[in-house]
Amino acid sequence: MARTAYHHGDLQQQVHDQALAVVREHGDSAISLRALAKQIGVSAPALYRHFADRESLLAELAISGFEALRQRLLQVKHTPPRQALIGIGLAYVRFAQDEPNLYRLMFGGQVLPRGVHPRLDDAGKAAFQVLEDTVERARHSGYLKPMPLALMTATAWSLVHGLSQLTIDGHLPNADAEPHLAEGITSLLLEGAIADTNRATDNNEDSP
Amino acid sequence: MARTAYHHGDLQQQVHDQALAVVREHGDSAISLRALAKQIGVSAPALYRHFADRESLLAELAISGFEALRQRLLQVKHTPPRQALIGIGLAYVRFAQDEPNLYRLMFGGQVLPRGVHPRLDDAGKAAFQVLEDTVERARHSGYLKPMPLALMTATAWSLVHGLSQLTIDGHLPNADAEPHLAEGITSLLLEGAIADTNRATDNNEDSP
DNA sequence: TGCCAATGTTAACACCGTTAACTTATAGCG
DNA sequence: CGCTATAAGTTAACGGTGTTAACATTGGCA
């Protein structure tokens, strides 16, 4: 029932893929169910067999986005705390820069308020979890000050999210002239978060 | 020609105000030119005498938002660097929390890409300028490390913007349980930014 | 006073999301 | 193997949208 081809093969997947391509190229405001259906060669109401409404489709795409983000973050090595933290921050920002339209859909807020679509919320939390785990490891290893975990992760997330959003929307004019901005920012934050025992011992360890 | 009342008084202002109210209450996606015109008691095409299209109206509203944000930031006192920095960060986040829908319009990115509407860009820069001036004062006074100004302001803006966006979209679950989150986050960043000479001398000066 | 330009009007076009009512093809079962 | 329930598609239609064209009206000014 779910695997074999009905009239058109699995429309659900086809719509999902096509819509994802449109979002990545032109943003979520360019998504039109009718246009999507016409492109695929199916009538518009057919889509309603697979998606409750336009918002649900967008939510599904946002879920894909969070899963892709999570995969990116998971690829960051666990090696020394400082590299791991900077690495995951860079990976996060780079994802946003690579997929600005998708990222905007994920965090647009206007699209879907939290609590409406549980699977979307879970996908977001799962991505955030990777970041939190990295911070927790660094903290547990004694590299970071023994501050509340929630405070540290919230700080880290705020920083990378804010930087992502500001850069992809062009609010930071000299972002191109300063390619190491993300790294500098992350380092700057770390200065305040590392334990005093680690101070001055690892500032230049990434450039041997 | 611009001041006296024509057929309906100054429609421009009336549309602007009404639209701003709608955005603040229901978000920019709830803006409908036809509905707006009907509410005001005028035909829909009449609006096109004052706004090129829907996007231009939204841009105008975003400009108002940036000006309101700027006013908020300007009210922060200049007194000691640490208080000024934390104060302006809190004021920024509080604005976003007070006007979530307006804030989303301003930074939605989907609404208007930079470069299209010069006045909108200028309004954004003007608001950002207040933040930059505060950082510059703190840096010039020797309170902060002598790092590049662009780096410091980008960091500060990223942090407060990220925190704003994440909280108003409900991504930080325990935001309510932690009302001092914004202050804690700002302090954490400051730890990494203050000059060593100022370290440990001002951590508790705000609670005498 | 008479004209021009600013400001409004109605009618219409081409979309859009969504629902209702109907048709078709498939999967599973007696 | 044939039948039927149902999943998956169809067309027609409703109400809404932004936007443009063509026309009407009003007010300020020469």
Lookup: tokens for B146: 């002598």
- Which whole number is the average pLDDT over B134-149? 92
**pLDDT tens-place string over residues A139-193:** 999 999 888 898 899 999 999 999 999 999 989 876 555 567 888 888 888 887 8
- At residue B175 the predicted structure's pLDDT band, cuts being 50, 70 and 90, is low
Instruction: Please check the confidence at residue A203 and state whether its pLDDT lies above 60.
Output: no
| CB of A53 nearer than 7 A to strand C | yes
Choose, out of A171, A186, A198, the residue to mutate when testing the contact with B (most B CBs < 10 Å).
Answer: A171
Count chain A–chain B contacts defined by CB atoms under 8 A: 144
The span from the CA of A156 to the CA of A189, in Å, is 8
- Condensed to tens digits (0 to 9), the pLDDT of residues A115-135 reads 889 999 999 999 999 999 999
Q: Shortest CA distance to B57 belongs to which of B120, B2, B101, B5?
A: B120
Q: Which one of A28, A171, A191 has the shortest CB-CB distance to B192?
A: A191
Q: Quick check: B6 CB within 7 A of strand C?
A: yes
Q: How does the average pLDDT of chain B come out, rounded?
A: 88
Residue B208's pLDDT band (boundaries 50, 70, 90)? Answer: very low
Provide the pLDDT for residue B177.
53
Is 1.20.120.430 the CATH number for B60-198? Answer: no
Question: Which nucleotide lies nearest residue A2, CA to C1'?
Answer: D7
Which residues is B144 bridged to in the sheet?
A: B194
What band does A34 get if pLDDT is binned at 50, 70 and 90? very high
- Give the fold, CATH level 3, of B1-51: Arc Repressor Mutant, subunit A (1.10.10)
Asked whether the beta carbons of residue A152 and residue B188 sit closer than 8 angstroms, the reply is yes
Is the CB of B130 less than 7 A from some atom of nucleic acid strand D? no
Q: Is the pLDDT of residue B158 over 80?
A: yes
Q: In the CATH scheme, what is the code of domain A59-198?
A: 1.10.357.10
**More confidently predicted of B132 and A208:** B132
Phi-psi region of A199 (alpha: psi -120 to 50; beta: other; left: phi over 0): beta
Task: Report the range of poorest mean pLDDT among A109-113, A162-166, B50-54, B146-150.
Answer: A109-113
- Check residue A177 and give its pLDDT: 53
pLDDT tens readout for residues B16-65: 999 999 999 999 999 999 999 999 999 999 999 999 999 999 999 999 99
For residue range B98-135, list pLDDT tens digits in order: 999 999 999 987 767 778 899 999 999 999 999 999 99
C-alpha separations of B184 from A192, B165, B187, B190 in Å = 12, 17, 5, 10
Confidence band, pLDDT 50/70/90 cuts, at residue A76: very high
Q: For residue A120, which phi and psi values (nearest 5 degrees)?
A: -65, -45
Sequence letter at residue B7: H
Q: What one-character-per-residue DSSP string does chain B give?
A: --SS--SSS-HHHHHHHHHHHHHHHH-GGG--HHHHHHHHTS-GGGGGGT-SSHHHHHHHHHHHHHHHHHHHHHTS---THHHHHHHHHHHHHHHHHHSHHHHHHHH-SSS--TTS-HHHHHHHHHHHHHHHHHHHHHHHTTSB-S--HHHHHHHHHHHHHHHHHHHHTT-SGGGTT-TTHHHHHHHHHHHHHB-GGGTTTSTTTT--
Q: Tell me which nucleotides of strand D come within 7 A of a protein CB.
A: 7-13, 16-22, 26-29
Distance B153 CA to D24 C1' (A): 56
A-chain residues near B104 (CB < 8 A): 108-110
H or E element in which residue A38 lies: helix A33-40
**Confidence grade of residue B7 (pLDDT, cut at 50, 70, 90):** low
Percent of chain B with pLDDT over 90: 68
Would you state the pLDDT for residue B3? 38
Mutant choice from B26, B160, B188, B196 vs A, greatest count of A C-beta within 10 A: B188
Which residue has better confidence, A176 or B87?
Answer: B87
Contacts of A124 in chain B (CB under 8 A): 171
**pLDDT digit string, tens, across residues A42-64:** 999 999 999 999 999 999 999 99
Contact B193 A188 (CB under 8 A): yes
- Which residue type, as a one-letter code, is found at position A43? S
Q: Taking the domains of chain B in order of start, what are their residue ranges?
A: 1-51, 60-198
